[in-house]
């Protein structure tokens, strides 16, 4: 017979209803937080580290491949190894967090991550590097699933809005400053700092946890290890993620490897959901995950990760492919998107305590939509950093408001006891949403670029007068002293580059239109939901739309 929901590991291992508490209330242990904001800084630093490290590994992939003498195809697994490990460890992370407490688990994971990051740049070959990447993913995979549970359990309800906003800041800031950091490390230091920068960050996380959080009392109820759940769910999520990450490179269903990964992953996930629904001590309480509005919130977060790619993926691709910008120059553009979020996140938290979270999220998605349409309307192959600045600033506002409003809307429906299940679901939606979005956008831009190139090529005919004039002009503009005979070849090469740049630009324009359309779907999902309840605490100052909380 299934246990009450309060006894499940996803609910934090609380005592069953109707069972006498282990100790009187007067002798219950104190709240685990000693210095609340220092402890909050620790777990949010973990969120920042996890996202930043994954993003830096992706941006610096060419330098890392060169260091271990890896080719393009085998080197493509470097970043995949880390994120697959993060998916694999999610369920184990929330189970260990429920048993041993957030403080102990995060301290040990951060310490392990620091050691791995210190040793990783000394990898003599690709195989060793992949092992380190996988181990680093296992360690950093503990960070994000335990973050929101810590915020809900260790801060007063009136601070949850700010905690949620800072959580959103960490995800957005780390995505948009990665290009600047990678470019600066490569130009001024070494590619090794892509990994070494994690050492002081992880050490700071350990220090914040040690000094800011009291040791937690062991859970009086030790839930049984759901070994089959760990295996089915962990490997199912990991295999599907690997297929999504490598699908565009291997041409999706035309690759037997991708078909095998997807098939095995889907079968394992189906077994996982059946097992979790029937098992009396599930690692994730599916009844919590399936309770409204969480399924819709997870879809919103997945869509939001797709829209964030308009800055984190599409803009860098345009600047690097069409304009030939280096990583540091791309970072200068994205830094202007990241910087305002330091202030916007606190504004979002302030507004969330006074305005319906649906309005905050809707405003954010509308800002993202307008920013994408503005780029789609005006983008040309001549655009540089300055032209992206107005839409980038608007995008920064939209991303912070949309993510913080969406997550806070879900938080208002939750009990702190189910925060671990919620944190795991958010991590899965965040990683899968980002990977699905990137896989879709990368494939979409590639296909639309090929279509545009084909259409442009139909208007370039050998012998056409205008084509001949253009080739002569390009040949004259690239004239070399003593080599007049190669003018036609140089002109053809320049024309080919121009057509290629125009085709990619058109594909990226189409991508921005699709991203803008996705925001319309998210807005529909938001406005068709009922208003959130006041929250787990009756004094939560979240009121109906347009109402102002009393001061």
Question: In the predicted model, what is the mean pLDDT of the chain?
Answer: 79
For the ranges 56-65, 406-415, 482-491, the lowest mean pLDDT is seen at 482-491
Rounded-to-10 torsion of CA 495, 498, 502, 508: 140
Q: Which residues contact 348 (CB under 8 A, 6 or more apart)?
A: 165, 168, 360, 400, 401, 404, 405
- Read off φ and ψ for residue 72, nearest 5 degrees: -65, -45
Three-class secondary structure of residue 33 per DSSP? strand
546 by Cβ neighbours in 10 Å (0-12 / 13-18 / 19+) ranks as exposed
Q: Which residues contact 325 (CB under 8 A, 6 or more apart)?
A: 319, 384
Fold of 30-223: Growth Hormone; Chain: A; (1.20.1250)
Contact 94, 145 (CB under 8 A): yes
Tokens found for residue 246: 């490598």
- Read off φ and ψ for residue 213, nearest 5 degrees: -130, 130
Task: Flag whether pLDDT at 385 surpasses 60.
Answer: yes
Residue 172 to residues 168, 177, 199, 327, 394: CA-CA distances in angstroms? Answer: 6, 9, 21, 18, 14
Q: How far apart (Å, rounded) are the C-alpha atoms in residues 236 and 240?
A: 6
CATH H-level, domain 292-458+467-473+488-546: superfamily? MFS general substrate transporter like domains (1.20.1250.20)
pLDDT of residue 201: 92
pTM for the model: 0.78
pLDDT of residue 222: 63
Better-predicted residue by pLDDT, 398 or 428: 398
Contact 282, 2 (CB under 8 A): no
Q: What is the 3-state secondary structure (H, E, C) of 37-68?
A: HHHHHHHHHHHHHHHHHHHHHHHCHHHHHHHC
Residue 65 to residues 116, 121, 191, 198: CA-CA distances in angstroms? Answer: 18, 12, 10, 19
Per-domain boundaries in the chain:
30-223, 229-280, 292-458+467-473+488-546
Q: How confident is the model at residue 127 (pLDDT cuts 50, 70, 90)?
A: very high
What's the whole-number mean pLDDT along residues 53-63? 78
Q: How confident is the model at residue 120 (pLDDT cuts 50, 70, 90)?
A: very high
Q: Which residues contact 397 (CB under 8 A, 6 or more apart)?
A: 340, 344, 364, 367
Q: What is the 3-state secondary structure (H, E, C) of 484-541?
A: HHHHHHHHHHHHHHHHHHHHHHHHHHHHHHHHHHHHHHHHHHHHCCCCCCCCCCCCCC
442-481 residue pLDDT tens:
889 989 998 998 888 777 777 667 777 777 776 777 666 4
For the ranges 217-221, 297-301, 468-472, the lowest mean pLDDT is seen at 217-221
Beta strands in 163-226 (DSSP E): none
> b/e for 244-275, b at 16 or more Cβ within 10 A?
bbbbbebebeeeeebeebbeebeebbebbbeb
Nearest to 532 by CA among 355, 356, 291, 295: 356
For the ranges 276-290, 296-310, 484-498, the lowest mean pLDDT is seen at 484-498
HSE-up of residue 279 (Cα within 13 Å, Cβ side)? 23
pLDDT of residue 108: 94
329-349 residue pLDDT tens:
787 777 777 777 778 888 888
Contact 59, 190 (CB under 8 A): no
Task: Flag whether pLDDT at 139 surpasses 90.
Answer: yes
Contact 165, 148 (CB under 8 A): no
Q: How confident is the model at residue 535 (pLDDT cuts 50, 70, 90)?
A: low
Nearest to 176 by CA among 391, 384, 307, 330: 330
Q: How confident is the model at residue 193 (pLDDT cuts 50, 70, 90)?
A: very high
Chain-centroid distance of CA 267 in Å reads 25
Q: How confident is the model at residue 512 (pLDDT cuts 50, 70, 90)?
A: very high
Q: How confident is the model at residue 125 (pLDDT cuts 50, 70, 90)?
A: very high
H-run or E-run covering 299: helix 294-309
Nearest to 232 by CA among 206, 258, 266, 192: 266
Top mean-pLDDT range of 95-109, 115-129, 175-189: 115-129
């Amino acid at each position: 017979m299934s246990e009450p929901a309060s006894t499940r590991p996803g609910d934090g291992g609380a005592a069953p209803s109707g069972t006498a508490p282990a100790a009187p209330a007067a002798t219950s242990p104190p709240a685990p937080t000693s210095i609340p904001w220092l402890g909050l800084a620790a777990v949010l630093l973990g969120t920042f580290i996890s996202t930043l490290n994954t993003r830096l590994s992706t941006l610096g992939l060419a330098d890392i491949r060169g260091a271990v003498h890896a080719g393009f195809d085998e080197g493509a697994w470097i970043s995949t190894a880390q994120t697959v490990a993060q998916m694999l460890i999610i369920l184990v992370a929330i189970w260990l967090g429920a048993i041993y407490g957030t403080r102990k688990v995060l301290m040990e994971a951060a310490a392990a991550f620091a050691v791995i990051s210190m040793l990783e740049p000394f990898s003599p070959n690709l195989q060793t590097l992949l092992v380190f990447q996988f181990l680093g993913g296992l360690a950093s995979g503990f960070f994000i699933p335990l973050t929101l549970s810590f915020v809900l359990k260790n801060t007063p309800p009136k601070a949850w809005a700010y905690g949620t906003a800072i959580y959103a800041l960490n995800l957005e800031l780390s995505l948009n400053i990665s290009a600047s950091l990678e470019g600066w490390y490569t130009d001024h230091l070494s590619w090794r700092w892509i990994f070494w920068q994690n050492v002081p960050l992880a050490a700071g996380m350990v220090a914040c946890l040690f000094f800011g959080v009291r040791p937690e009392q062991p859970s009086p109820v030790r839930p049984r290890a759901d070994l089959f759940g760990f295996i089915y769910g962990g490997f199912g999520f990991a295999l599907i993620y690997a297929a999504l990450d490598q699908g565009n490179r291997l041409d999706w269903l035309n690759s037997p490897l991708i078909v095998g990964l997807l098939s095995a992953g889907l079968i394992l996930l189906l077994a996982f959901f059946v097992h979790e629904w029937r098992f009396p001590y599930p690692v994730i309480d599916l009844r919590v995950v399936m309770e409204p509005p969480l399924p819709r919130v997870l879809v919103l977060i997945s869509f939001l990760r797709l829209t964030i790619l308009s800055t984190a993926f599409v803009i860098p691709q345009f600047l690097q492919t069409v304009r030939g910008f280096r990583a540091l120059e791309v970072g200068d553009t994205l830094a202007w998107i990241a910087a305002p979020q330091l202030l916007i996140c606190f504004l979002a938290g302030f507004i969330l305590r006074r305005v319906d979270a649906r309005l905050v999220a809707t405003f954010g998605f509308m800002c993202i939509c307008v920013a994408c349409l503005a780029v789609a309307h005006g983008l040309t192959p001549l655009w540089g950093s300055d032209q992206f600045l107005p839409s980038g600033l608007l995008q920064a506002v939209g991303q912070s408001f949309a993510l913080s409003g969406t997550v806070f809307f879900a938080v208002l429906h939750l009990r702190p006891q189910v925060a671990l299940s919620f944190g795991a679901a958010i991590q899965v939606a965040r990683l899968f949403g980002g990977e699905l979005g990137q896989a879709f956008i990368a494939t979409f831009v590639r296909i639309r670029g090929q279509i545009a190139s084909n259409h442009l090529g139909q208007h370039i005919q050998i012998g056409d007068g205008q084509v001949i004039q253009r080739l002569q002009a390009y040949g004259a503009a690239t004239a070399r002293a003593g080599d007049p005979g190669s003018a036609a070849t140089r002109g053809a090469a320049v024309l080919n580059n121009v057509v290629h740049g125009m085709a990619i630009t058109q594909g990226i324009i189409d991508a921005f239109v699709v991203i803008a359309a996705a925001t319309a779907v998210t807005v529909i999902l938001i406005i068709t939901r009922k208003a959130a309840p006041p929250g787990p605490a009756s004094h939560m100052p979240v009121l109906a739309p347009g109402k102002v909380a009393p001061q």
